[in-house]
């Protein structure tokens, strides 16, 4: 077993439900999935890209594995390993059990009179996979087969990566619907202090992924987590890296003072929406992109 019993129990209390025998894959109901079922709002990804929040499966095939230990990560990083260790479960089993776990987690909404009846009928059959819950998905040895299996089931797939496995992107049998690459620093020094990579040559690997990004046959998005006092400077540095990747969109989102990140950062590291918007505009002006959408509630701005 990859996670110890006490680690599993801790994550289960936080709402994680594990799939497979080896406990490296899990799902967790997103806050916005619940809100959408109650008609209390939707995720900014629905507003920006048209996915349905109430039909989104938030999951990860690699909960305990990531190359980085970012200061702004809301997760408990004491469980995190930078390379894959142990056996792994097959994609079909992971997907089947994640869907079943999500159905069980949502069953309480069927007794809630405030639930939207149409969305209740649909939420048990998710159509979008947000492969982003925890860890680095590209470390899962069968990530290519996982994306292909989701595609076979007519899911849209939103894959989030830290970009430290450039060769893996080249070997995917099928591209995801949308690839997010995290770009959280304008230079190597800031990257090392904020993202805290656990492997050698991480900055060069990230840059290699940025260079390869334009060749992928999917919607390509650079995602910047804006942390006040840590990485909200050198707009020109960000613009140069963005131009290297030539993405379709750039998402700039405020760091949120939640979870375990509160043990590493302070409340004043969470920028106001106006600060995020100004930061985004400065970057956009330098890489020929403009603000085309925004979500004040989530403190996120979309450049396109």
CA distance 152 to 301: 32
The torsion of the CA quartet 113, 117, 122, 123, rounded to 10 degrees, works out to -10
Residue 77 scores a pLDDT above 70: yes
Confidence check: pLDDT of 97 > 80: yes
Residue 79 has pLDDT above 90, yes or no: no
Strand order across the beta sheet in which 219-226 lies:
17-19, 25-27, 56-60, 128-131, 156-161, 178-182, 219-226, 249-254, 300-303, 291-295
Q: Is pLDDT of 182 > 60?
A: yes
CB atoms inside a 10 Å sphere around CB 199: 11
For the segment 204-254, what is each residue's pLDDT rounded down to a tens digit? 999 999 999 998 989 999 999 999 999 999 999 999 999 999 999 999 999
Query: Span 5-303: which CATH code?
Result: 3.20.20.70
| pLDDT for res 109 | 92
Task: State percent of the chain over pLDDT 90.
Answer: 85
Is 0.95 topped by the overall pTM? no
Question: What is the structure's pLDDT at 86?
Answer: 85
How much is the pLDDT for 295? 95
Statement: residue 105 has pLDDT above 70: yes
φ, ψ at 24 (rounded to 5°): -110, -15
Contact at 8 Å (CB) between 291 and 302?
yes
Give the CA diameter of the chain. Answer: 54
Which residue's entry shows tokens 């799939």? 19
Q: Tell whether the model's pLDDT for residue 191 goes beyond 70.
A: yes
CA 19 – CA 8 distance, rounded (Å): 12
Q: Once rounded to an integer, what is the mean pLDDT over residues 175-197?
A: 96
- Quote the pLDDT of residue 114: 94
Q: What is the mean pLDDT of the chain?
A: 94
What's the pLDDT score for residue 1?
54
Instruction: Give the per-residue pLDDT at 83.
Output: 86
Residue 275 has pLDDT above 60, yes or no: yes
Contact by Cβ (8 Å): 148, 77: no
Residues 124-169 have pLDDT tens digits of 999 999 999 899 999 999 999 999 999 999 999 999 999 999 998 8
Mean pLDDT across 170-176: 91
Domain boundary assignment for the chain: 5-303
Dist. CA 197–CA 185, nearest whole Å: 12
Burial of 168 (0-12, 13-18, 19+ CB in 10 A): middle
> What pLDDT is stored for residue 80 in this prediction?
84
């Amino acid at each position: 077993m990859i996670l110890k019993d006490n680690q599993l129990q801790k994550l289960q209390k936080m709402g994680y439900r594990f799939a497979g025998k080896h406990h490296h894959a899990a799902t967790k109901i997103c806050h916005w999935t619940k809100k959408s079922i109650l008609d209390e709002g939707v995720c900014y990804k629905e507003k920006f890209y048209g996915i349905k929040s109430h039909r989104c499966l938030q999951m990860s095939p690699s909960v305990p594995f990531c190359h980085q230990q970012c200061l702004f990560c809301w997760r408990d990083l004491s469980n995190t390993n930078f390379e894959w260790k142990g056996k792994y479960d097959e994609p079909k089993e992971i997907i089947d059990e994640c869907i079943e776990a999500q159905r069980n987690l949502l069953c309480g909404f069927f007794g809630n009179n405030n639930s939207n009846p149409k969305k209740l009928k649909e939420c048990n059959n998710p159509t979008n996979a947000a492969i982003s819950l925890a860890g680095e998905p590209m470390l899962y040895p069968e990530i290519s087969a996982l994306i292909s299996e989701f595609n076979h089931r007519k899911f849209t797939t939103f894959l989030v990566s830290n970009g430290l496995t450039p060769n893996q992107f080249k070997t995917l049998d099928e591209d995801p619907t949308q690839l997010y690459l995290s770009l959280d620093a304008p230079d190597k020094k800031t990257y090392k202090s904020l993202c805290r990579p656990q492997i050698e040559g991480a900055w060069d690997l990230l840059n290699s992924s940025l260079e390869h990004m334009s060749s992928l046959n999917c919607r390509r998005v650079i995602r910047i987590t804006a942390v006040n006092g840590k990485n909200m400077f050198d707009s020109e540095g960000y613009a140069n890296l963005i131009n290297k990747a030539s993405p379709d969109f750039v998402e700039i989102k405020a760091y949120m003072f939640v979870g375990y990140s509160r043990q590493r950062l302070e409340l004043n590291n969470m920028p106001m929406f106006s600060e995020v918007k100004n930061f985004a505009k400065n970057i956009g002006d330098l890489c020929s992109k403009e603000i085309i959408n925004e979500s004040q509630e989530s403190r996120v701005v979309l450049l396109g």
